[in-house]
Structure 1
Amino acid sequence: MRLGLAANQLHHAHANAALFRWLHACEAGIRELELGLHAVGRTYDAIHRAGYLERYLPLRRYPYGREGGLMKLVAEVVGLGPDRVLDGAIYLIDPVDPSSIFPEAIALKRQCVIHGKPFISTVATARDWIEMERIHAGFAPDVGADLFYDLGQQTLALIAHDAMKPQMLAYAAEHFDVLSRFAHRVGTGTTGQRLNELAWSRGWPADQAWVERYQSGPMGGDAQIADLVLERRCQRVIFFEDPHVARQHEADIQLLERAVTTRTEDAVCMTSPKVAARWAAAVTLRSGG
């Protein structure tokens, strides 16, 4: 596997920055997986200076962002032939860094979503993804990742745009037992109602909501869930986005995404049904059934 790798300046500006906390926690897993990391210039240079991934040949340097490094990652997520294709991207975002809303940054996420590849924007998501892939590769669980699998202490947000609601319902039906392990589930208006109806049809007590419903997205539900994330009362967001449709409440959607990246150590976000299904399978494997 090969992932693009970039981090805004805040996340590699000092010895305890987010990029280095991720590498400290996951370098062994990266090496076990022989994960290819195609890092844009400043991110690569920071890793080299900090002494991580020394003599690790799958770490490759790309040009600086201003020289087109991030643009090249976007093209390789789409695919430029068998030797130039990425399986996803890690982009550790500082939500107040203007470069995080440059066209190439937005396009990187959009193309990952379109092609069903992981777009990883927080340290928590990056740690969670490494453990997920380790489990699928047959490695023993990393106790350092146990906190991401303690679902009984977590709240899960389930959100889907209109065109993606059927996929969310299908996903919830297939992985109902795993999703039911969470202490609490929240969702926006219509999606939440449909998920409750699904749960009741599966035998969930009819007098209990499987998902606590907030407002619809256009009426502010994304903002309400963003507040839960900011208060560390929601640890995981599964957000099936439709990248092809302009939305009147785009600002609310971006607000939720900014809340997730603000809580980079705590919030895990998945935007691809394929990745979310792979994570659910890893939960089952890791717990032994």
Structure 2
Amino acid sequence: MATGHTTTKRRIALVAHDGKKDTMVALALSFAAELQDCEICATGTTGGRLEREVGLTVERMLSGPLGGDLQIGARLAVGELDALIFLRDPMTPQPHEPDINALVRACDVHDVPCATNLSSAKLLLAQLLRA
């Protein structure tokens, strides 16, 4: 997990491909009380839905294809994120696949927990937020 921050709030990035946005909203609803106490950043459309449908305060980046994945990757690289949940749609080709791979790779390089599917996202949030 990233270190060096003075706040006790968890800093979590939430990203979801179009085919997984409903799943991300449902996930956030199930952890809404805990996520309210976190600093959340998300890519554009995902962040907007989390604000409207879950009531979270979200710092919205650009949409993924326009560079939002890279913005989140930059935060991750300088220790400004404690975890990434990126609900990927493995069945739909993504035009910005290199950016997606770079973001997940950055989690590995900087030893930041990363969940890319619903099951691992639930486990990660349960451990990170309820422990």
TM-score range, shorter chain: 0.7 to 0.9
Q: Distance in 1 between matches of 2:113 and 2:126?
A: 16
Residues 1:186 and 2:41 aligned together: yes
Contact in 2 for aligned 1:152/1:181 (Cα 8 Å): no
Q: What TM-score results when the alignment is normalised by the length of structure 1? A: 0.41
State which of 246, 252, 255 in structure 1 corresponds to 2:93. Answer: 246
Distance in 2 (alpha carbons) for counterparts of 1:236 and 1:280: 9
**Does 1:198 pair with 2:43?**
no
Q: Does 2:31 match 1:175?
A: yes
Q: Partners in 2 of 1:259 and 1:211 — Cα distance?
A: 22
Aligned to 2:8: 152
Q: For 1:181 and 1:238, how far apart are their aligned partners in 2?
A: 17
Considering Cα pairs closer than 8 Å and 6+ residues apart, tell me whether 1 or 2 has the greater RCO: 2
Q: Counterpart in 2 of 1:120?
A: none
The TM-score with structure 2 as length reference comes to: 0.87
* Equivalent pair of 2:76/2:106 in contact (CA under 8 Å): yes
Determine if contact 1:188/1:215 at 8 Å carries over to the other structure: yes
Note the C-alpha offset of 1:259: 1.5
For 2:115, the equivalent position in structure 1 comes to 270
Unaligned runs of 5+ in 2: none
Distance 2:85 2:8 in 1: 17
Query: Sequence identity of aligned pairs in percent?
Result: 34
CA RMSD of aligned residues (A): 1.9
Partner of 2:22 in structure 1?
166
Distance 1:276 1:217, change over 3 A: same
Q: Which runs of 5+ in 1 are unaligned?
A: 1-123, 125-146, 205-209
Aligned length: 126
Alpha-carbon distance between aligned partners in 1 of 2:62 and 2:125, rounded to the nearest angstrom: 27
